[in-house]
Structure formats: structure tokens, C-alpha cells
Structure 1
Amino acid sequence: MIYWCRLLYKHLAVDLGAESGRVSVVTLRDEKISLEVLYRFPTRGVFVPAGNRLTLRWDVVRFFHEVLEGIRRAGSGVDSLGVDTWGVDYALLDRHGDLVSLPYHYRDRRTEGIMKKVIEKLGKEYVYGKTGIQFMPINTLYQLYAMVLEDSPQLRIADSLLMMPDLFNYWLTGEKMSEFTIATTTQFYDPTIGEWCYELLEKLDIPTRILRDVVEPGTILGKLDNKIAGLVGANMQVVATTSHDTASAVVAVPALEENFAYISSGTWSLVGIEVDKPVINDKALKYNFTNEGGYGRTIRFLKNVAGLWLIQELRKEWRINGRLADYPEIVEAASKVKPFQYFIDPDYEEFIYISEKPMSERIAEYCKRTGQSAPKSLPEMARTIFDSLAFKYRWVIEKIEEASGRKVDIIHIVGGGSKNWLLNQITADVTRRKVVAGPSEATTIGNAVVQMMALGEIGSIREARRIISQSFSLKTYEPSIEEAVVEEGYERWISVVKLG
């Protein structure tokens, strides 16, 4: 008699970012993880006229079409699939399960001034005490309150609110739910008691009937809906992975030590630590830190920093021989510029939104407004961004230590930004700590690893991180310039951005 033994599980990781999406097949063999990107596609926002202005939306219908194409390319023999996306954005469905409208992009300007109105109505202490979430004008809470204030008919007919990964899970399986890590990005989920903040929403006249049950990361939702399986010519289990992309990236931090901080570096830089319970205290509120959910009900105590969005915007102006400069060329040009000449706060509000004004002009205006001369070239602009990001990372880590009582000895940088050798080195120089960079595909890896744990391939997150650390090439950076030079630069940066 011949016995057949399954040697290799195949997992599909669907990672949708604010610039691009990808569908990857991930496998585990002999305690080594392998990853192959099958399909890539753009995911940028689109402008849609509405009333008297252009609104910025997500074309989620096209994204879903692209996801299905990626699944088709994977063929048969796939065991599971998981979807992760950025946080805070959501879709509204009517009682028939139909999309009410294309979801708004978090950079749409409808939330300008809304956060201030909520704070005036409820108070910062109340909102933070309930949610432990960083105050950012893009948060789901302010997007929904903007709809309340304009008496949106979309909100009146809505039957369900699904965060972005939850929407794709619904379209794939027919199951309406909200996964824990993405739910915590809304600023109306209470991480202390583990449920939606119904009272907070009721105070703002936001309907609570639209909320769905929250499930744990690693929950198996079931197989593809039969109609979808027919379209793609395959079937597989769908897992509610760590659906917030940063949560997936943190799962893939290859940390073998305890006192580590992570920087998930991409369009945003998420700078934080992993803790067992929320850190909600006066210092956390003062420094505007966030408590987002992680795998196994851990908490990602972190701060959102603007990240490489500023470079992405600057690149639109940067041409070499008639073509757009690529990112390695930008990094190389910036590396030749004298450090610590000009400083910005990467989180200055005018840098966050999409604007007709070029990023270089916005940076120049900021420098002049803060009593500095302005960078004179695009390489100087890029160096200003990299230096200022590194100083912001240091400030965040120092305040995390202060608010949490935990010491940080080493910094792990994961995500696409971990390939930026210059920013990695400046971060080591400025923080005076060892930096370990990689893996660059951390979000995809973390997404797949949660699927592996759901199917019993990997026993724990500790085991997963050990396997990841030996599966991918990592690079270490040590401080390389004089501490006195760094301290002078840091004091000047502090005085410019007034975070002291």
C-alpha cells in the first residue's frame, strides 16, 4: 500500500498598501520560509467629483479584480489565503450587502478640523482613556463624525461597516466580521475590555448598528464562496490574518531578544514596542502614543510617523535624464549631502495631505517659517527628510521608554524602508543603538506566518520569529559618527519642531 504524505503547504498573502498591492505565495520547508511575489498592481487613490469638490477615494472594486487575478495565477494546491491592508479606512454596505459608495481615502480633506470638534465635545482624556489611540485627523472616528455633521445619506442607509481587509474577506467568503488588529485602528475600540466603544459613538450620534463582531487574528473564516471559487478556478481556506499591515509586519520582526523596538518603515513609519497590555496613562496621552492590537492579544504601543510618504511626494519632482529618479538614486544623492543642516517635523499637518503644492515647496516654506534657510536642491531636501525622520524616531523611542518604563536596547527596521541603507545608518547614529534591518517583505511574511499558525504548521510566534531570523538576510548598523555631533543636531531639531 502506498501512503501519500503532504510535504508542503502553500499560503497566499494578499498585501494591499497605499501605493501598491501584491499577491505572494509563501511556503515553509526545513524551517526556512520562501516567498515569491506572483502579481503586483497599483492601489493609489482616485479623484471622484462629489457635490462641489473632488473627493479622494479607493477604487476597491478594481482592487478586488486584481486580487482575484493574483489568486488565479497561484493555480490549484493553495491551502490558505489572508488579506492585510492599511488602517483607518472603511467601507459601508447596505442591508443587501452592496457597497454604498467607493470608500474615502484617509488623505481626503473632509476630516480637516473634525478632530478638534470631537475633542471639544468629548475631551481628549475621555477619548484616549477609552481607546488608547493616537489622535490623528485621519482616524476612522473623525471620518465617521464628518459624515454625521454633513448628515450623510450614505451613513443613514448603511447596515454594516467593514474595515478595508474585512471588506475583501467578506467578498471572498460572504462572512461579515471585523478582525481585532484592524478594529483597534478606528479609535472606537476599547483594548482594555476588548469591545467596541458603544458609549463614545453614541455621544457623537454615530450609529452602532453598523458594527460587526470582532474576531481574533488567525480565525479561519471558511473556504472561498462558491461563486468566487468558480471565478478563480480554485478553492482554499480564508484566514483572518493580522489584517492591519503593521500588525503583520510586527509578527515578522526577527527579534530573539526582549528589549527591542521596531520601525515598520514604508509610506508611514510605525515606531513602537510590543507589550502585553495597553499603556494608557498621562505620559502616553501627552506624547500622543497609540495602543493597537497585535497577534495573541498583544498591544503594539507605538507612534505613527509620516515616513517615506515625504520621499514619495518629493520623487514626483525628481527627474534624471528626463525620467523619474528611482529610490536608490535618491538615497545615493542624499548620502553626498552634509548632514544636519535643515530640519522639519515629518508630521507637520501640511505634509500629510495630498496637495497641488509640490513637497519641495512645502518643505521650503516650513524651514523659512521656523527661522531656517531652505534646502537649495532636491538632494538637500531628501537629506533633510532622512535626518528629520531619524531624529523623530529617537524622540519617539525616548518617550516610549518614559511612558512604558521599558528600556530599548536594539531597533529592528522592517518593511520596504529597511532597504534604505542611508536612513538605517542615520537611525543608528542618531539613536546610538544597534539597528537590524530586514526583512523588507515583513508584512507579507507576517500575514503568511499567522496563516501557518492557524493551520498548525508553526506552534508559536516565538518559533515563527526564530524561523524568520534564519530565513532572510538581515543587515546590522552601528553608530558611526561622534556623539557630540549627533547631540548638537538633536538639540537643534528639538528647538525647530518644539517637541522638547
Structure 2
Amino acid sequence: ACRQTPKIVDAAEALATIPDLFNFWLSGALVSEYTNATTTQLVDAAKRTWATRLAGEIGLPTRLLLRIVQPGTIVGTLRASASEAHAGTPIVAPASHDTASAVASVRVGGSTAFLSSGTWSLLGTEVAAPVISAKARDLNFTNEGGVGGTIRLLKNINGLWLLQACRRAWAAEGRLEPYDDLLAQAADPALAFASLVDPDHPTFLNPEDMPAAIGAFCRQTAQREPASRAAFARTILESLAMKYRLVLGWLEELTGERITELRIIGGGSRNRLLNQLTADATGRTVLAGPVEATALGNVAVQAIATGAVPSLADARRLIERSFPAERFEPIAPERWDAPYRRFLDYVEFTCA
């Protein structure tokens, strides 16, 4: 924008992300909420302030950068122009990044990692300080802002997008069975470990035909192609579980913590087959839920800010009691060891 539309940048008064803009419209206060600001790649992870030198190097005027506020800050009150009936209501900047709010809803850190599961997967943990190292960079982990002074150390992984894209292709053919029926068929043990893919192979990002892309990957890695829709689903879910196992190992290397529990949150936590396969593949206890973790974390931060709940720990306990997690224990995890070694070869194929 600085190069292509310099007049617009020169005329601008501030750089606001979408959540900050909503807060401005509601309250008249223009600030930058920390968790979302960290996803711009313009925040110094260690200092937790704008990386002004970096902004200057890319030609972004630092005068546009707003004051950063922490999630849970009351930025103002609701303007009468927005709602006369509710004018004066406190406007709280929540953890406006959706994953930050989702993670705020559950107890994580130490021996418990989180997996925000949906179209995409975000696997990580909550730490007190950013992990900035060559290893973290090479493994493509990111340090994003969390609630209460925490950092979300996480890695982005492909997710149920692969299955969604397959179902879109099948729908175009005029036949689409219900999602639950497909998963029930995919649970057939006879389909186990027939074909595996690296979910993060570039060809799976946005192919015109996802089943064809998966089939091509299988041919290129000397595997047989899935022979049915249930087989495609099983391949996708097992491959995701394998990738979670790999990334959990990397996370342990970066943090020095042994992870024994994985908390799956978001819409993907409703996929009970994937939850069980993840427990089996990783050899770790899986706790699934809440589904609406982002909304609950948002409400929790606002409740703390307005004094309705004393602390984040109290809010998390309240959410846990109100929305109990479903527990999945590993079943015969040793059966996954040989297929996992095979899976690592396919990850190497992606890197090559």
C-alpha cells in the first residue's frame, strides 16, 4: 500500500485492524488490542510493543500505529449514536484474535497443549515468554499474544479443510451423504492406515479437485489411492492425527515440557472419530470441547474486565463446569508406530 497508493497512506490517520475499528465505532476510542496486533508481524514479541524499526524498514509510517492495550481493557463506553438505550455500557477490548479468545476459555500450558480444530488446525501451548530461536523459526512456530500476559506458542496446520473440499467435490457430482454417515463408514477398522498424506503439502491448499489431489499424492508416494469416500475420509483423519503427533513432539522440544494432555477446542472438537484417532496416534489423553470456545473466551475476558469474575483461572473453571469436556484415552497407540514412520517419509516428500 505504501508503494502502490502512497497518497492514501499519507492521508491516513491510523492503522486499525477490524476488531479495533469495531471498538472505535462503538466507543469512539481508537486503540490496538494486543492479541490481534501480534498477528500483524509488526509487534516485538519480547518487548510486546510495536517494532517501529521494522515498520520503518518496510516504509510504514510509525505515526499510524495505535497505542497497544491488553485484552480486558475497558476502552470506553458505548456511544449514544450506536445505541441510545444502552449508552454508557462499558466497551471492553477482548482477546480480539479468535484463537486467543478460544484459548482463554480453557486451562492450557505446562503438560497440556491446545488444538484449535476446524477448517484449519492451530496446535500449541501457553507460555510466559516468547520462544525465539532458530529451531522455532525453522519449524515455523509463531509467538502470538495471549490473555493475562501469556504467549501462545503455536504452529498452523491444515485441518478439516481437506474433508470439506472433498465433500464439495462430491456434492458437485450430485451425491453427498450426511457427514455423520461418512464418519461412521470411515471408522471401519479395515480402512486403517491404507493411505497417508502430509496435510500440509502445497497441493492441498486450494486444489480444484481435492480427491484428485489426494489421489495424485498417493501415486507419487507409491501408495494405493483411496477406493471410496469413506477411505478418503479415513486417510484425511489419520493423516491429521499423525501430523498432530509430529507437531506435539516439536512443541515438547521447544518448551522442554512433556505434554500428556491435548485440549481440542472449536468446531472440530465435535468430530469424535478424529478425537479418538488423535488420542491413539499421539498416545495422549484428549479432552474435547468446548465447541464455542472463541465466544466463551470473549465473554470470559469481558466478565473479568467488568468485575463479574475475579480472574482468568476462575473464568476457566466456570466454563469447565458449564461445558464439560469429553475425554478420549489412547487405544493401542503402539499400533500407530510403524504407520507413523511411514508418514514421516511422506513429510520428507513434502519438504523435498
Tell me the TM-score normalised to structure 2 length. Answer: 0.91
| Residues 415-468 of structure 1, C-alpha deviations (whole Å, 9 max, x = no match) | 111110000000000000111111111111111001110011111122222222
Query: In structure 2, what is the Cα distance between the partners aligned to 1:418 and 1:458?
Result: 26
Q: Tell me which amino acid in the other structure corresponds to 1:442.
A: A
* Secondary structure of 1:436's aligned partner: strand
The match for 2:306 is 455
The match for 2:193 is 340
Is the aligned partner of 1:173 residue 2:27? yes
Is the aligned partner of 1:490 residue 2:343? no
Contact 1:178 1:212 in 2 (8 A): yes
Q: Tell me which amino acid in the other structure corresponds to 1:341.
A: A
Pick aligned residue for 2:58 from 199, 204, 208 = 204
Is the aligned partner of 1:415 residue 2:284? no
Query: In structure 2, what is the Cα distance between the partners aligned to 1:176 and 1:476?
Result: 43
Query: In structure 2, what is the Cα distance between the partners aligned to 1:330 and 1:155?
Result: 50
* Secondary structure of 1:277's aligned partner: coil
Query: In structure 2, what is the Cα distance between the partners aligned to 1:155 and 1:368?
Result: 50
The match for 2:151 is 299
Query: In structure 2, what is the Cα distance between the partners aligned to 1:320 and 1:203?
Result: 47
Query: In structure 1, what is the Cα distance between the partners aligned to 2:292 and 2:175?
Result: 27
Query: In structure 2, what is the Cα distance between the partners aligned to 1:271 and 1:312?
Result: 20
CA RMSD of aligned residues (A): 2.3
The match for 1:35 is none
The match for 1:427 is 278
User: Relative to total residues, which structure has the larger helix share, 1 or 2?
Assistant: 2
Pick aligned residue for 2:328 from 471, 477, 493 = 477
Shift in CA distance, 185/325, structure 1 to aligned 2, threshold 3 Å: farther
Shift in CA distance, 331/172, structure 1 to aligned 2, threshold 3 Å: farther
Query: In structure 2, what is the Cα distance between the partners aligned to 1:210 and 1:371?
Result: 53
The match for 2:160 is 308
Contact 2:44 2:50 in 1 (8 A): yes
Q: What's the CA shift for 1:206?
A: 3.1
| Residues 10-61 of structure 1, C-alpha deviations (whole Å, 9 max, x = no match) | xxxxxxxxxxxxxxxxxxxxxxxxxxxxxxxxxxxxxxxxxxxxxxxxxxxx
Contact 1:273 1:302 in 2 (8 A): yes
Q: What's the CA shift for 1:180?
A: 0.5
Q: Tell me which amino acid in the other structure corresponds to 1:331.
A: L
The match for 2:129 is 277
Contact 1:223 1:237 in 2 (8 A): yes
Query: In structure 2, what is the Cα distance between the partners aligned to 1:250 and 1:326?
Result: 30
Contact 1:163 1:178 in 2 (8 A): yes
Give the gaps of 5 or more residues in structure 2. Answer: none
Is the aligned partner of 1:287 residue 2:164? no
* Secondary structure of 2:81's aligned partner: helix
Pick aligned residue for 1:193 from 40, 47, 58 = 47
Shift in CA distance, 481/215, structure 1 to aligned 2, threshold 3 Å: same
Contact 2:28 2:76 in 1 (8 A): no
Contact 2:281 2:333 in 1 (8 A): no
The match for 1:361 is 212
* Secondary structure of 1:425's aligned partner: helix
Shift in CA distance, 193/320, structure 1 to aligned 2, threshold 3 Å: closer
Query: In structure 2, what is the Cα distance between the partners aligned to 1:496 and 1:358?
Result: 20
Query: In structure 1, what is the Cα distance between the partners aligned to 2:10 and 2:22?
Result: 23
Contact 1:411 1:435 in 2 (8 A): yes
Shift in CA distance, 319/193, structure 1 to aligned 2, threshold 3 Å: same
Contact 1:270 1:305 in 2 (8 A): yes
Q: How does 1:193-272 map to 2 (within 5 A)?
A: 193-230=47-84, 233-235=85-87, 236-254=89-107, 258-272=110-124
Q: Tell me which amino acid in the other structure corresponds to 2:104.
A: V
Q: Which moved more, 1:331-340 or 1:312-321?
A: 312-321
How many aligned residue pairs are there? Answer: 348
Q: Tell me which amino acid in the other structure corresponds to 1:224.
A: L
Is the aligned partner of 1:349 residue 2:202? yes
Contact 2:110 2:257 in 1 (8 A): no
* Secondary structure of 2:303's aligned partner: helix
Is the aligned partner of 1:162 residue 2:19? no
Q: Tell me which amino acid in the other structure corresponds to 1:318.
A: W
Contact 2:121 2:159 in 1 (8 A): yes
| Residues 105-140 of structure 1, C-alpha deviations (whole Å, 9 max, x = no match) | xxxxxxxxxxxxxxxxxxxxxxxxxxxxxxxxxxxx
Query: In structure 1, what is the Cα distance between the partners aligned to 2:91 and 2:39?
Result: 22
Query: In structure 1, what is the Cα distance between the partners aligned to 2:94 and 2:62?
Result: 25
Contact 1:277 1:299 in 2 (8 A): yes
Structure 1 consecutive aligned stretches of length 4 or more whose deviation exceeds 3 Å: 147-159, 318-327
The match for 1:113 is none
Q: Tell me which amino acid in the other structure corresponds to 2:240.
A: L
Identity %: 44
Q: Tell me which amino acid in the other structure corresponds to 1:261.
A: A
Instruction: Flag the structure with more relative contact order, 1 or 2, with Cα contacts below 8 A and sequence separation at least 6.
Output: 2
Shift in CA distance, 482/214, structure 1 to aligned 2, threshold 3 Å: closer
Q: Tell me which amino acid in the other structure corresponds to 1:245.
A: D
* Secondary structure of 2:291's aligned partner: coil
Contact 1:254 1:468 in 2 (8 A): no
Tell me the TM-score normalised to structure 1 length. Answer: 0.65
Shift in CA distance, 212/341, structure 1 to aligned 2, threshold 3 Å: same
Q: Tell me which amino acid in the other structure corresponds to 1:489.
A: P
Shift in CA distance, 206/364, structure 1 to aligned 2, threshold 3 Å: farther
Shift in CA distance, 229/473, structure 1 to aligned 2, threshold 3 Å: same
Contact 2:34 2:69 in 1 (8 A): yes
Query: In structure 2, what is the Cα distance between the partners aligned to 1:333 and 1:367?
Result: 21
Shift in CA distance, 164/306, structure 1 to aligned 2, threshold 3 Å: farther
